[in-house]
A and B are shown apart, each in its own frame.
Chain A
Amino acid sequence: MNKMLTILKHEFRQTIKRKSFLIMTASVPLIALIGMLGYPFIMGLFPEPEMPEKIGYADNTGIFTGYTEQPGLTFVPYPTEAEAKNDLLAGEIDEFFIIPQDYRATGQVIRFTMEGELAPPPGLTKQISDFLLSNLLAGEVTEELRRRVKEPLMLVSLQLDETGKIIEVPHPLIAIFVPYIFGFLFMISIFSNSGRLLQSVSEEKENRMIEVLLSSVSARQLFLGKILGLGSAGLLQMVVWLVSIRIFAHVGAMNIPALGDLVIPTSMLVLGLLYFIGGYLLFAVLYAGVGSIGSTEKDSQQWASVFTLPAVVPIMLLSVIAQHPDGLVARILTFIPFTAPITVMMRLPNTTIPLWELALSLTIMVGSIAVGIWVVARVFRVFLLMYGKRPALREIVRYAREA
C-alpha cells in the first residue's frame, strides 16, 4: 500500500513537471483569457452595419402618410422619384423606395440604395414593413390590435416531464456550447492522460526498468500506482480548466452579456466528474495493458488506436445527439462504456436523462473497469518481461486465463 503511494506520488510529480502537461493545462485558461480580452477587439473588427437613419420614399398611392417617425429612423416623403434620387446623391437621405400605384394588388416596393449588400438588412426590412403595415391599418383597427398584428407571437416555451411538472430549460447558449466544450475537453483530457500512461508503461518497458521495479513491488502495485498517479494529475488538470472557465465566465459576463446566463448546473459538474474519472480509468486500464503488450512505444500506440476510435464516435455524431438527446442513438451510446462519458456530457444540457439510464450506464462502466483491471493485472507482468516480440491475440487470451 505504501509502495503504491510512493509510485503514485512519483508518477504524479513526474507528470506535472512535464512541459506537455503544463502547456496543455495552461492552454484552456489562456485561450479563455485571450477570448475575454480579445472579444471587444474582435468585435471592433466587424462593425455592425450602419443602420440608415433617414429613408426617403415616393408614395404613388397616397395611403402612406403617417407613422413616419419610427424608433431611430425617419421616413421622409418625396413627391417624385427624381427628387428623392437627388437627395440621396447629395447625401441628405441614406436610401429611398418607391411605392407603385398598384401596390395594394402586388405588394411590390422598389428600393434604391448606394450600399453594396447581399440582402436587405433584416432589421430594416422589418421597419419598412412595420411602416407600411401601420399605414395600411390606420383607422381600420384599434391601436392595440395594430400593435398585436405587428408582433403576433411572443413565444415562451416550457418543457414538461412525465408528471406534468415544468422542467427548467437551460439557456440556449448552454445547449449548444456546453456539450461541445465539455465533449471536447473530456476527449482531450482523457486521451492525453491515458496516453501519457501508455507512454509511461512502454517507456519503462523499453528502458528495461520493469524487472528492477518488479523486484521491489508487485505488478498490481505498479499498475495501480501508475494509473492513480497519472489520474490525479489529470484530475488536477480538469479542475484547473473548470475553475478557469467559471472564473472567466464571471468576469466575461461584463463584456459579453450572454455569458452571465451560462451557469453550469451543479448536477452537471458532479456527473461530469464521475464520468471523467470513469472514462479515464477505463482507458487508462486498457492503455496500461496495451503498453505492456507492445514492444515499443510506437507499437503500443498503434494498438491503442483500436480503443480510441470508438470513443470519438459521439463527437462525430454531435449533431444527432444534440438534436435528439433522447433518441435511440444517444441512448445506445450512453450504455457503451467507451462512448458513455462524452455522450452523457452532450445529452445533459439538452434533456433530463432518466435516473435509471445514468445508473445503468455508470454500472456498466464500473463493471468494465473491474473486468479490465482483472484481465490487465494478469497479463501485465507476463508481457512486460516479454521483449522483442509482440504476442498474438491467442497468446494474450491464454495468459489471461492461465496467469
Chain B
Amino acid sequence: MDTIIIAVVAIGVTVSLRSYLQRRRRDRAERSSPGSSEEVTTTLGWDSRLSPTKMLPGEKTIEVCRVHKSFGGKEVVDDISFEVRSGEIFGMVGPNGAGKTTTIRMLMDIIKPDSGGVKILGESLRESTKDRIGYLPEERGLYRRITVAESLEYLARLKSLTPGAAKSGTDNLLHRVGMFQNKDKKIEQLSRGMGQIIQFVTTIIHDPDLVILDEPFAGLDPVNREMLKELIRELRQHGKTIILSTHQMNEVEELCDRILMINKGKTVLYGELSEIRSRFRNNSIFLECEGSFDGLAGVTGEKNHGKFVELFLDGKTSSREVLAQLLARDITVDRFEVSTPSLNEIFIQVVKEEP
C-alpha cells in the first residue's frame, strides 16, 4: 500500500515539475526573441491564421424553419423562419425582449425549440459544429481570477485548438487589438471596455466560419466601438458569416446586408436592407434652397423641418422630374435628397400598423 501511495505522489510531482519546466522554457524563448512579441502588426493581426471559410459564398449557413418556443405558457418565439447566407452580415433587430436572444440560443442548441427545425453549416447542430461557430452572448463575462492569456487559451482549447495554436492565436489577436501588454493581467484589473474587447477576442480566437454577436456594442465607448466595427468588417472580407443581433438600428444600417426584424417573438420584416428601405420610402424629398419653390408640379404638400423642407410627391411624379423643375428656376439648391426612412422609423411604422 505504501509503495502505491508513494508512486502516485511521485507521478504527481513529476507531472507538475515537467509542466513547470515547459512553461519556464516557453517564457525564456519568448524573452529571447523580443522581435516576435513586441512587433506590432500593422494590418491584420490574425491574417496569417485566418483561413478562408469552408462555405461557398451565397450558400445557406443557417436555415431556421418555423421555430416556436414558449416559456411558462408565453410564446417567446412564434413561428420564425429565416436563412443566413454564407459571407454576409445578417442583422437581427428588434426591441429588448423581442425574442432575439432566445432565437440565438436555439441556434446554438443551448435551448431546444418546442417545434421547428434549425440547420447550421448544413447540418443540425452537433458538438463538433460548435468548433466552427464563435458566439458572443448577450450575458457574457470572463473569469475574474485568472489572467487574460489563461482565459483565452482555455476557451480556445475548448474549441478543440491544440495548445500551441491556442497560444499563438492568443498572442496574435491580443497584438491586433493592442492589448498584448495586458496578457498577464487579471480581468478584474482591466477596464470594462477592455474586458469587452477581450470577450470579442475569445469569440473569434478559433477562426470560426460563423460568428454570432449578441449586442456586441453594448457598453463600448466610441473608440472601441469603431475598432469592433472594423474587426467585424475584416471578418467579412475573409468570407466569414456574421449574425449581428442588436436593438440599436443604426449599427445594423451601417453594417448589415440583410436583416430580420422581430417584435414580440414574431417576424416583422425580413430581407435585403436596401430593398426594405426603398419599400418604406415615404415618397418625399428633403429640400434646402434659397428662393421660392412654390407651384412645383406633382408636389401635393410640404412640411417645414426648420432648416429644410420635406416635399410630398403625388406618386406619379419622379424625383428626377422635380429636380428638373427646380433647376429650370433660378434658385440655389443646397440639398436635394430622396428621403429614405431610417430603420428606426421603419420599425416604428411597422409596429404601429400591427393590430
Please give the residue numbers on chain A whose beta carbons come within 8 Å of chain B beta carbons, in ascending order: 2-3, 6-7, 10, 14, 204, 206-209, 211-218, 221, 236, 239-240, 242-243, 246, 266, 269, 381, 385, 387
Contact = CB atoms under 8 A, between A and B. Distances in A.
Contacts of B271: none
A218 B112 CA distance: 13
Interface stretch (B127-135, B230-238, B272-280, B323-331): B127-135
B137 A217 contact: no
A295 to B, nearest CB: 12
B21 interface: no
Given A212-B202, A216-B130, A216-B155, A236 B12 contact: yes
B143 interface: yes
Given A14-B146, A385-B105, A218 B127 contact: yes
A277 to B, nearest CB: 14
Nearest to B135: A215
Contacts of B144: 207
Contacts of A381: 110
B168 to A, nearest CB: 17
A215 B130 contact: yes
Given A6-B157, A208-B137, A215-B133, 9 more contacts: A6-B154, A207-B144, A211-B105, A212-B135, A213-B155, A217-B158, A239-B5, A266-B1, A269-B1
Given A14-B146, A239-B8, A214 B108 contact: yes
Interface centre among B12, B108, B130, B141 (most CB of A within 10 A): B141
Interface of B: 1-2, 5-6, 8-9, 12, 105, 108, 110-111, 127, 130-131, 133, 135, 137, 139-144, 146, 154-155, 157-160, 199, 202
Contacts of B137: 208, 211-212, 215
B140 A246 contact: no
Nearest to A17: B146
A2 B160 contact: yes
8 contacts: A3-B158, A3-B160, A207-B142, A207-B143, A208-B137, A211-B135, A216-B155, A236-B12
Contacts of A213: 155, 158
Nearest to B158: A216
Contacts, number: 76
A216 B161 CA distance: 11
Nearest to A7: B158
Contacts of B127: 3, 217-218, 221
- Pairs A-B, 7 closest by C-beta atoms: A208-B141, A215-B135, A211-B137, A207-B141, A216-B158, A208-B139, A6-B157
Nearest to A13: B19
Nearest to A246: B2
A241 B153 CA distance: 33
Contacts of B2: 246
Given A6-B158, A208-B139, A240 B146 contact: no
Q: Which label, helix, strand, loop or mixed, suits the secondary structure of the A interface? A: helix
Nearest to B126: A218
B165 to A, nearest CB: 13
Contact of A10 (B105, B111, B154): B154
Nearest to A207: B141
A216 B133 CA distance: 8
Contacts of B202: 212
B275 to A, nearest CB: 32
Contacts of A207: 141-144
Contacts of A269: 1
B9 A217 contact: no
Contacts of B155: 212-213, 216
A214 B157 CA distance: 14
Interface centre among B5, B158, B160 (most CB of A within 10 A): B158
Contact of A242 (B5, B131, B135): B5
A363 to B, nearest CB: 25
A217 B159 CA distance: 8
B110 A385 contact: yes
Nearest to A3: B158
A216 B203 CA distance: 10
A43 to B, nearest CB: 29
A394 to B, nearest CB: 11
Given A216-B159, A236-B12, A385-B110, A209 B141 contact: yes
Nearest to A265: B1
Nearest to B136: A212
A10 to B, nearest CB: 5
Nearest to B127: A218
Contacts of A14: 146
Contacts of B6: 243
A207 B157 CA distance: 20
B128 to A, nearest CB: 10
